[in-house]
Structure 1
């Protein structure tokens, strides 16, 4: 393998950064880089060839490249900025629960032709980046979730084509995400980490070889008075189009009524480049049916249980309030059945500005649904009024299944939609109700099955890092990670996925690095759990035969103790399996 500092050098078959030479090794994946130390914000070019069993080399692969992030904390010159409090312009009840999206902007001048420019952005809880009025990239719900007290992820975005010589403007919208966690109604003790905040650095390389840097600092301005009046992943988004500010991310915008940002304390977690695939809108669905079970209450059937949101098309008077609610099933009378959502409001609200056709979709929420209730709509909707936007981690689909049995084919299709819909930068348990957590036990076996369908190695490698970040000094591992619900129940079934999933990644992908990175943490957990062994039996168990078949479909668990499998039996079997893996 050759790695070079330029295309021209690589074209001469010179690896001035790394020339691996001919490597005699039985593995072909996960080979560690061992060239010169890499530098921050650099582009490296590489190609590779192999030898066959007769000792004949292949042609060189086509040249490819990778770029590096900011590899050392000293490379960051930016400051954390934001407003660490509710302010005038926030949603009315923001001090207690809901919070409007902050909008931040700054103008700057570039004195040269831009050759390459890269933005490194950490916007917590969620962010969208704009340069000269243009949204950068197609990622949504960015960045990835994490144990914010231990680690926060930034994303790297190419802004070369958006910048120009002369005056420029950069803008960022900050959503709440899981960082600012208060909700209208919290179902359990949910951790919250602070008010939304931004760290941004744009490194600009000019054609003449000089450089410039644009950073988040005290020169930015901020407003909480924008159109996104409230946003929460569980409860939904409220958007008041009357508050839109056309041109807010363009140079020359009048921001005289915006306030200066505050330099704020950043999260305690270390900064790291997001290692897994971003979340994207991957598909758009058209409704298949529309009914009116009650006057003014319209129910759309998307024809598919999906995860994401809808795009609304509407015309009407200024101030008209349109409400969208979401559910997976209907009541017998054709209205929404939201019982399984528990406390999740799953409601989006759009307030019209009254200017011709208005097209809107939310940015900082998501729902699991098949049915959409539309109320407050001016006039009579039709099937073109909404579109379903399918949202999930943009993982490569690597496998498929089909057979002669229609039922098995449908079960497989259901599995694909269900698995994919729960990719939210961690593998979650559900996308619709007031939970949506990365429960470890839910993936102890599913991690193997889904690895035949999707390329999940980056996702699981990142998730195992979340697990280790949530591990306590004692060695205890939570039942879910990131541990937004701090459930540390000390059992072998749920936390055991910390060993089981890397074992599967090793078997499926030859991924040694995930095992190597967490092996010591795995041993700490095993040593911690040994305290619960008595005469070779694991006595500690919180779940047992979790969700075994109940007497009727209205129960989660059977109350018939004779049908229960001993938790000690299951816990001991799991611990034995985990020890063998270790």
Structure 2
């Protein structure tokens, strides 16, 4: 049945034309507020034609659609460029200016002829200079509620003054401004930064579909603003701008050690162009009105949100509302950070799910089960009397008696409160808070709640789901599903460690290799490029890097293994997406960090400092979080030195790419010295292993290419022995070792062990988590038995290289070693264990890649799709001496193939773009 599906996809019409589509500028479709004056252009070629190659392109950029239509590139005309490149072509035209609207298209020559893009792209430049801003920062420098004497003197002298007491509560700020528009409107653009979070309205209509905007940063370094075209929301005559400000991460998170920046504040600039060509600007200033006596009360990311519907102010965001009891806003000091146009996409409601059951625990207590550990909130539907209070508490787990299990939330209250206004049915959902949860404890309903009283809203950064993956093994499929929910549940303008407790931080160590695997499932390039900037923003002048970024916790342990993610992710963005700018942008920062470590913690080329070890490796007792057995714990010096070596190797490439040729030899010499010192200190020539022979120690030596080739096989034997015998075919690594384990086992000929690890249902394993009811990935291998306060049920750090292994090995969708952005693939599916089929697809930056294979009764069938303008080296497993056909024709007779060879029982050949069905029997 699978093969029939493959063949139906393969069929195409011979007369089908090649088309160019998915035009993108800086990886955003038709962006507003672009800040870079050197944007880059990408496009995809679509065709079922085989061996299609782009031979040349021409990019045309015009100041008007009329100019574009006649191919008048008055801003830039690249003319014909003989190149097959289709991603991130840099603009080289006239200087771009603030607010400028640009239109573009591409003309392409292929070996099948000349075509012009089907799509036409456009973008609008942001406000490039601080002088473009006429708006003023406004707010209310008071902690008191309405009706009390308002103190306007909240002027913190230093950061300690901003650490308010643990019971500090702050209501949302409601702001409004009425404006008169006396002409017909041609175009209107709103530039807005509302800190910590904002919701914006024009004439009662919400602007945009984003939530929890803008995305978080260190506000002493950078302050993001968003841009919206609001032409359709304005009318000639009276109009009203309404803004609600939530606390977000700008105001105190209630935790004493959590950085805070001040009270919520707003910057808003509405620029209008009329039909007659005149312009008018309306800005945030002293004339705006404000109240903190609206329905949204205290709103804290850890604790929840309170909403009193009795305080709703009907019409507050439309013209004619009586705001006589509102106060004038105050001009406030601008945040320290640089104002910039937010480059990454905002968070959105990306999916809606319904609960699966409701259980009554007592007369007024119910447990709602969403059926899935999720991140977001619940839309509530309720009927009752004025003053009725609905309380919803959120948790990931239940106790044995059916009540919420909240120990792992630590200090987070995770509670929302809704007070009814009474009368008709009421609906409500959060504005400035989210939760990580599967279960909701509900109290306060007059009648027994029903399933349709609740609707789950799943939130994360707006991004395409680029990958699909399925196998014949149900355990692998559920692990993949759990990973999918866990990864997206921790995308919130930064990759966080967890979504539920009083932490939710961007820990660097969690996402190093993980980001690579994630990139197959989600188009995460904008998120991670933004996060690298957060990391550099957090770097201290001496070069040290943080453990978390943005550094809402000031954690600088001078570790190497955690900050290494900074380098590794930059390389991932280049390898997976072809984006070299993060490497070039952060090169000096990379260099400062390595120099800092070398100067302060390197002795005889061994890095002596380590903080976290092989974090959360399975301990000797399931009740423990961290092992105390020295035979299980990998040397911190080995970990740091191995990672430092890897970074020096990356820096050789980074130096070359960044034009710092003078540094290349320095890092070559440094790497060689570190490697020599590593082997001298940690290699045991008698036992042929590293350090105390942990799997992590040996895997790092092999996979970082530190171990000499002459000893790698002997070292690997210890990996096999420890895994099979001491750990009975289970994981023995923590966060560090798991980043390379699956690939190491497979590359060195023991894919069978990797498959066993991937499909185990006993402790410790990903399958064990499923066996215990998990629908996401745990923080600990023993999350059900270790200290409950330590176990997040939604972490992804222990995924390591598993998702990479799924796509690159089981499915065979792998970027060739000498290729960038999948211009060339190496496709070699891993046929292993009891797998009967693997079905995978990945929508790469160059187009859709598919790999669907199955085996049945001695017959192997494999459907492949290679995007236009790409090629692949295809390795057909166990094919020597068998009949190999493609679409029913012996491969020796297919003229599309190149360099057919037979080696080690495999048939190897090179193919171009198109769809293929290989069969071996």
Q: Deviations over 1:106-152 (max 9, x none)?
A: 00101211111111110000000000111111100000100110001
Match of 1:579 among 648, 660, 671: 648
Alignment partners' CA distance in 2, 1:502 and 1:240: 46
Alpha-carbon contact 1:330-1:336 (below 8 Å) kept: yes
**Displacement of 1:52 after TM fit?**
2.3
Alpha-carbon contact 2:251-2:264 (below 8 Å) kept: yes
Counterpart of 2:139 in structure 1 is 82
Counterpart of 1:58 in structure 2 is 115
Counterpart of 1:159 in structure 2 is 230
The answer on 1:246 being equivalent to 2:314 is: yes
Q: How does 1:92-491 map to 2 (within 5 A)?
A: 97-183=168-254, 186=255, 189-491=257-559
Q: Deviations over 1:302-340 (max 9, x none)?
A: 011100000111111111111000111100001100111
Large movers: runs of 4+ above 4 Å: 90-96
Alignment partners' CA distance in 2, 1:352 and 1:553: 47
Alignment partners' CA distance in 2, 1:124 and 1:80: 10
Counterpart of 2:611 in structure 1 is 542
Alpha-carbon contact 1:326-1:369 (below 8 Å) kept: yes
Alignment partners' CA distance in 1, 2:647 and 2:82: 33
Q: Secondary structure at the match of 1:417?
A: helix
Q: How does 1:16-95 map to 2 (within 5 A)?
A: 16-25=74-83, 27-53=85-111, 56-89=113-146
Alignment partners' CA distance in 2, 1:336 and 1:102: 32
Alignment partners' CA distance in 1, 2:178 and 2:343: 30
**Displacement of 1:368 after TM fit?**
0.5
**Displacement of 1:53 after TM fit?**
4.8
**Displacement of 1:87 after TM fit?**
2.8
Alpha-carbon contact 1:90-1:100 (below 8 Å) kept: no
**Displacement of 1:447 after TM fit?**
0.7
Alpha-carbon contact 1:180-1:195 (below 8 Å) kept: yes
Gaps of 5+ in 1: none
Alpha-carbon contact 1:46-1:63 (below 8 Å) kept: yes
Q: Deviations over 1:89-111 (max 9, x none)?
A: 39999995110000000001012
Alignment partners' CA distance in 2, 1:481 and 1:388: 29
Alpha-carbon contact 1:278-1:393 (below 8 Å) kept: yes
Counterpart of 2:62 in structure 1 is 4
Alpha-carbon contact 1:86-1:94 (below 8 Å) kept: no
Alpha-carbon contact 1:90-1:224 (below 8 Å) kept: no
**Displacement of 1:76 after TM fit?**
0.6
Q: CA RMSD in A?
A: 1.6
Alignment partners' CA distance in 1, 2:358 and 2:117: 56
Comparing 190-199 and 549-558, the one that deviates more:
549-558
Q: Deviations over 1:185-241 (max 9, x none)?
A: x2x511000000000001111111111111001110000111111001111000011
Q: Secondary structure at the match of 1:452?
A: helix
Alignment partners' CA distance in 2, 1:161 and 1:371: 40
TM-score when scaled to structure 2? 0.62
Q: Secondary structure at the match of 2:440?
A: strand
Q: Secondary structure at the match of 2:314?
A: coil
Alignment partners' CA distance in 1, 2:148 and 2:486: 34
Alpha-carbon contact 2:253-2:302 (below 8 Å) kept: no
Gaps of 5+ in 2: 1-58, 150-163, 652-921
Alpha-carbon contact 2:136-2:285 (below 8 Å) kept: yes
Alignment partners' CA distance in 2, 1:159 and 1:240: 30
Q: Secondary structure at the match of 2:644?
A: helix
TM-score when scaled to structure 1? 0.97
Q: Deviations over 1:490-538 (max 9, x none)?
A: 1111111111100111111111111111111111111111121111111
Alignment partners' CA distance in 1, 2:148 and 2:218: 27
**Displacement of 1:26 after TM fit?**
5.9
Alpha-carbon contact 2:384-2:446 (below 8 Å) kept: yes
**Which of the pair is proportionally richer in helix?**
2
CA 1:64/1:26 → structure 2, altered by over 3 Å: closer, same or farther? Answer: closer
Alpha-carbon contact 1:97-1:182 (below 8 Å) kept: no
**Displacement of 1:51 after TM fit?**
2.4
Alpha-carbon contact 1:318-1:354 (below 8 Å) kept: yes
**Displacement of 1:62 after TM fit?**
2.5
Q: Secondary structure at the match of 2:370?
A: strand
Alignment partners' CA distance in 1, 2:466 and 2:114: 28
Alignment partners' CA distance in 2, 1:253 and 1:568: 66
Larger Rg, first or second structure (1 or 2): 2
| Pairs aligned (count) | 578
Q: Secondary structure at the match of 2:560?
A: coil
Alignment partners' CA distance in 2, 1:83 and 1:211: 30
Alignment partners' CA distance in 1, 2:591 and 2:84: 28
Alignment partners' CA distance in 1, 2:543 and 2:134: 35
**Displacement of 1:560 after TM fit?**
2.5
Alignment partners' CA distance in 2, 1:443 and 1:404: 28
**Displacement of 1:23 after TM fit?**
2.3
Alignment partners' CA distance in 1, 2:513 and 2:252: 30
Alignment partners' CA distance in 2, 1:389 and 1:472: 38
Q: Of the two structures, which has the highest relative contact order with CA contacts closer than 8 Å and spacing of 6 or more?
A: 1
Alignment partners' CA distance in 1, 2:574 and 2:276: 47
Counterpart of 2:639 in structure 1 is 570
**Displacement of 1:371 after TM fit?**
0.5
Alpha-carbon contact 2:253-2:301 (below 8 Å) kept: no
Counterpart of 1:503 in structure 2 is 571
Q: Secondary structure at the match of 2:485?
A: helix
**Displacement of 1:61 after TM fit?**
3.8
**Displacement of 1:34 after TM fit?**
1.5
Alpha-carbon contact 1:49-1:61 (below 8 Å) kept: no
